[in-house]
């Protein structure tokens, strides 16, 4: 009788998740922003050069022992940062800068963890206002049914990490 109840509970839970996924968005974006009391010429190199990301990247702060390699940007190739983490949660993958200009950086994130292998896209946009610089960091992802129900949780899971990254970037640039 207990096993039968557990079985029905599991079926109801699965059906609830599938039903929730029917109403979940397939695409999701979230953003964080901050204002840095430093000119754009100080802030921009911290973003444009992927070698500098370990100074402020929130995932590097979680695992400083991870292996990283950077391929530099040139006119014929995108710049990329590859990582391999010893912590299973962070896995391995790469960030690819697909557009670089003085104030807009577009990128693609390609994680490879034991739970996740979908990519996301994003941008970091810099606006200089007098002696300060505003940063807007946007990340978007698309998931097909039924995994799209995970979009209900992505802002909670990742939003704080992006906020921490911007806080660290602000501290470094204002030193």
For 83-101, what is each residue's pLDDT tens digit?
A: 998 876 778 889 998 887 7
125: which residues sit within 8 A by CB, 6+ positions away? 103, 104, 105, 135, 136, 138
Q: What pLDDT is recorded for position 127?
A: 92
Q: What pLDDT is recorded for position 37?
A: 96
Mapping DSSP onto H, E and C, the string for 71-129 reads ECCECCECEEEEEECCCCCCCEEEEEEEEECCCEEEEEEEEECCCCCCCEEEEEEEEEE
Is the per-residue pLDDT at 43 higher than 90?
yes
What is the pTM (predicted TM-score) of this model? 0.82
Residues 130 and 117 sit within 8 Å (Cβ to Cβ): no
Q: What pLDDT is recorded for position 3?
A: 87
Mean pLDDT on 136-161: 83
CA–CA gap between residue 148 and residue 62 (Å, rounded): 26
Q: What pLDDT is recorded for position 52?
A: 92
Helix (H) or strand (E) holding 159: helix 151-174
Q: What pLDDT is recorded for position 56?
A: 94
Q: Which of 47, 44, 39, 46 is nearest to 129 (CA)?
A: 39
């Amino acid at each position: 009788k207990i096993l039968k109840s557990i079985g029905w509970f599991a079926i109801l839970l699965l059906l609830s998740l599938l039903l929730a996924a029917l109403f979940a968005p397939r695409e999701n974006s979230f953003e964080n922003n901050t204002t840095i009391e430093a000119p754009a010429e100080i802030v921009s190199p911290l973003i444009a050069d992927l070698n500098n990301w370990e100074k402020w990247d929130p995932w590097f702060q979680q695992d400083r022992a991870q292996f990283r390699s950077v391929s530099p940007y040139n006119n014929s190739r995108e710049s990329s940062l590859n990582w391999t983490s010893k912590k299973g949660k962070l896995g391995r993958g790469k960030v690819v800068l697909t557009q670089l200009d003085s104030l807009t950086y577009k990128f693609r994130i390609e994680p490879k963890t034991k739970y996740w292998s979908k990519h996301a896209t994003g941008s970091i946009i810099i606006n200089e206002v007098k002696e300060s610089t505003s940063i807007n960091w946007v990340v978007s992802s698309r998931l097909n049914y039924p995994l799209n129900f995970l979009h209900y949780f992505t802002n909670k899971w990742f939003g704080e990490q992006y906020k921490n990254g911007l806080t660290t970037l602000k501290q470094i640039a204002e030193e």
